[in-house]
Chains A and B, each alone.
Chain A
Amino acid sequence: MSEAALKHLSETQTKDIDENIAWAKINRDVLRSMENPRRGYWIAMAISVALFSVMIYAEVYQYIYGMGPALLNTSHMWDLYISTFVFWIGMSHSGTLLSAILHLVHADWRKPIYRFAEAMTTFSLMTAGIFPVIHLGRVWNFYWVMPYMTDRGIWPNFRSPLIWDAFAITTYLTSSVLFLYIGMIPDLAICRDNTTGWRKKLYTWLSLGWHGDDRQWRNFRITYLMIACFLIPLAVSVHSIVSMDFAMAIMPGWHVTTFPPYFVAGALYSGCAAIITLFILLRYFFKFEEYMTFPILDKVCKLTFVIAMVWSYLNLVEFASVWYGHDIPSKEVLLAKAYGPYAPFFWGMIAFGMFLPFALLSKWVRRNMKLLFVVSVLLNVGMWLERWMIVTPTLSMSYHPWGWNIMWPGWVEWAMVGGSFGWFGMLFLIFVKVFPCVSMYEVKEMVFHRKRTIYEDVDEMMVLHKGAPTAVEAGSTKNGGS
């Protein structure tokens, strides 16, 4: 789409979706997206593969030379690895928000965009899961992160939130994958009916013989609702448990009661910002201007702003409780964040996380795709800095002065962080090429229900003006015809 056309669309698009889109066109557009993306898709894939390759190189280097090149030491035992782990776990929460919470409150505007948000949840968790394994050093013992009986002399400490993490994240990953998959079954059946070759075999196998009868739809609806109900408390528990990795340690700056809600709000915030980023990319890659519309983007931006304000409030509560709590080491850490060697990153977090969201209040920003893309990326830079500023300043300034130690991450750690974005990008881009990233049947439902609402309104008006034919009498086909 040309610049002029995009500008025109940004000014004229007022509905979440055009209710006159024919159902056959929805199928056609989404199926086409899986065949012919724009060149930008392949560029994004190349960048992701390159970043991931650097990560592999860094991992091999760390494997050969040990944890030394990562510059981890006694007080800084996990540094960027745990910061980035928390970042990716947080990113995963947006899928649950869009799919489960907005599903329960019947916000139908989520329908064209929830599929990729769910995929984002799954792949964020898969990315987060890499970091504990990398941090082990001895990667061949990766299965030690999973809790199991003590028959190998491991003696897992079930009182430790790190063990809770393993349980919670395994549960969350399993449930998210199933939620994504179950929600996709009707669309996989559409793909099965419209493809050939390996794709047909794959979709036939995955669609489990779906044929869309009332029994299947009824069971499908209840299943989706039940899993959504399971997922919401699960998502809250997962990031609460991740926050307890810190909050249950008696370290200055970490031992804070508000950490669980603070982490959950931060998770939703970074996830929403990532949805904006991916929304803009997918809309461009797959020419989804009719489905990923400006009004829907507006809603996501407003939601992001609200969550950003909740996060900002909890941040201020944390600062205030440390300030007025008179716990001297915690206060020292807070002051060191603001004035010490990490100050630029701390203030970067404040600027990007607390002040930049106000840009989302501007309609001009919300309708300017390029600018909004930059803003959404910077919001997540702010959220990544937040996680880094939770971990490293505390580790550099613990209770004991002999443990004080300013540490800057080495290239191996940076390579791992960058590579995690490559890994996530690769998985996500493969997913959107192989599976429909817009839910076809739900967009049809959205179109159907919105059109019916309009017809009902028209019919009511017609009854008031007797004699005129109603919309139904006029012979309209409500599913848009084929």
Chain B
Amino acid sequence: MANHTAPTHRIFGLFADFEQAFEVIAGIRRYEVPGITVDDVRIKSPIEHPEIEDVLGERPTNIPKFAFVGGLFGLIFGFFFLAGAQANFTVQPQGGKPVITIPSNLVLAYEMLILFGVLATLIGFIIGARLMRKRGPFYDHAVSLDQIGIVVERVDDTQRQQVRDLFAKHRVIDIFEENAQ
């Protein structure tokens, strides 16, 4: 890991295809740039590519937890919301039928489970994917077209040229750099 007290840089390279991007990450995994690990690397790509994301190692996401909690809340809230409404019905003659009808409430609670599950998943996505934030300076339109970007964070002065060399070795198209401090 780079020394955080030293001046650090962020370097962004654009590549023509996934093969080259893959080679760059493999190089980082082989410690071709001492001090830089895959934890310092992000990939920007025009498509979803699970295989190349695997190279970056395990990066867990909390979305299933959001979905579970949302669904559970929907189920419980849905049932008690309806039961609360039905509780007012005690002023009406029920003709021997139960005031709170479990079979029909289960149908409705099931719908609420799905509704709140979906809403919670969306919230989890916005939080997990860090959406609704400024895109930052390292965004190139080529990424939404057909090029693959690799961002290496926390690069100190001694590693800067090594990262650039690694990029160049794998036919980088363009390199952008900024001072992260």
A interacts with B? yes
What string of 1s and 0s marks CB contacts (under 8 Å) between B101-112 and chain A?
100110110111
Cα(A208)–Cα(B131), bound, Å: 6
* A27 vs B145: C-alpha distance when bound (angstroms): 7
> Does B43 contact A214, Cβ atoms closer than 8 Å?
yes
| One of A189, A223, A234 near B122 (C-beta < 8 A) | A223
Distance in angstroms from B85 CB to nearest chain A CB is 5
Is B49 interfacial (CB-CB < 8 Å)? yes
Stretch at the interface among B2-10, B27-35, B86-94, B156-164: B86-94
Q: Are A220 and B146 in contact (CB under 8 A)?
A: no
A477 with B63: CB separation less than 8 A: no
Whether A60 is near chain B, meaning CB under 8 Å from some CB there, is: no
Among B67, B146, B151, the residue within 8 A (CB) of A213 is B151
**B interface residues, tally (CB under 8 Å):** 66
* Among candidates A167, A193, A442, residue contacting B111 with C-beta atoms closer than 8 Å: A167
In the complex where A178-B118, A189-B144, A226-B63 touch, is A237 in contact with B43 (Cβ < 8 A)? Answer: no
Q: Are A171 and B112 in contact (CB under 8 A)?
A: yes
The interface size of chain A toward B, counting residues with CB under 8 Å, comes to: 65
Please tell me if the beta carbons of B134 and A209 are within 8 angstroms of each other in the complex. Answer: yes
- Whether B49 pairs with A217 at a CB distance below 8 angstroms is yes
Q: CB of B168 within 8 A of chain A?
A: no
Residue in contact with B128 in the complex, picked from A170, A219, A233, CB distance below 8 Å:
A219
Considering only residues 118-172 of chain A, those with a C-beta below 8 Å from chain B are: 147-150, 155-156, 158-159, 163-164, 167-168, 170-171
Give complex CA distance A214, B141 in Å: 16
> Total A-B pairs in contact (CB under 8 Å)?
184
Asked whether B48 lies within 8 Å of A478 as measured between CB atoms, the reply is no
Q: A168-B111, A190-B144, A208-B131 are in contact. Are A219 and B46 (CB under 8 A)?
A: no
B64 & A167 in contact (Cβ 8 Å cutoff): no
Q: Which of chain B's residues have a CB closer than 8 A to the CB of A216?
A: 129-131
Chain A residues in 8 Å Cβ range of B133: 209
Alpha-carbon distance between A176 and B123 when the two chains are bound, in angstroms: 16
Interface contact A441-B111, CB-CB below 8 Å: no
Contact A150 B88 (CB under 8 A): yes
Are B53 and A218 in contact, with the CB atoms below 8 A? Answer: yes
A182 to B118, CA, bound (A): 11
Is A230 touching B122 in the complex (CB atoms < 8 A)?
A: no
Q: Is A461 an interface residue (CB 8 A)?
A: no
Picked from A178, A214, A441, the residue with its CB within 8 Å of the CB of B46 is A441
Query: B52's closest neighbor in chain A, by CB?
Result: A214
Q: Judge whether B45 is part of the interface by a CB distance below 8 angstroms.
A: yes
Any chain A CB within 8 A of the CB of B176? no
A69 at the interface (CB under 8 A from B): no
Q: Is the CB of B42 within 8 A of A214?
A: yes
Is the beta-carbon distance between A182 and B135 smaller than 8 angstroms?
A: no
B86 close to A158 (CB less than 8 A): yes
Question: How near does chain B come to A252, taking the closest CB pair, in angstroms?
Answer: 24
B104 and A159 contacting across the interface, CB-CB below 8 Å: yes
Known: A22-B146, A150-B88, A441-B46. A175 touches B118 (CB 8 A): yes
* Pairwise interchain contact A237-B110, C-beta atoms closer than 8 A: yes
Q: How far is the CA of A150 from the CA of B47 in the complex (A)?
A: 50
Contact partner, A24, options B19, B45, B63, B145, Cβ 8 Å: B145
A190-B144, A237-B110, A441-B47 given; 15 more Cβ-contact pairs under 8 Å: A23-B145, A164-B107, A212-B45, A212-B143, A215-B42, A219-B125, A222-B64, A237-B107, A441-B48, A444-B146, A479-B16, A481-B146, A482-B142, A482-B146, A482-B147
Residue contacts A-B, CB under 8 angstroms, 9 given: A150-B85, A171-B114, A178-B122, A193-B144, A214-B45, A223-B124, A445-B47, A479-B46, A482-B147
Pick the 5 closest A-B CB pairs, nearest first.
A23-B146, A219-B129, A223-B125, A208-B131, A219-B128
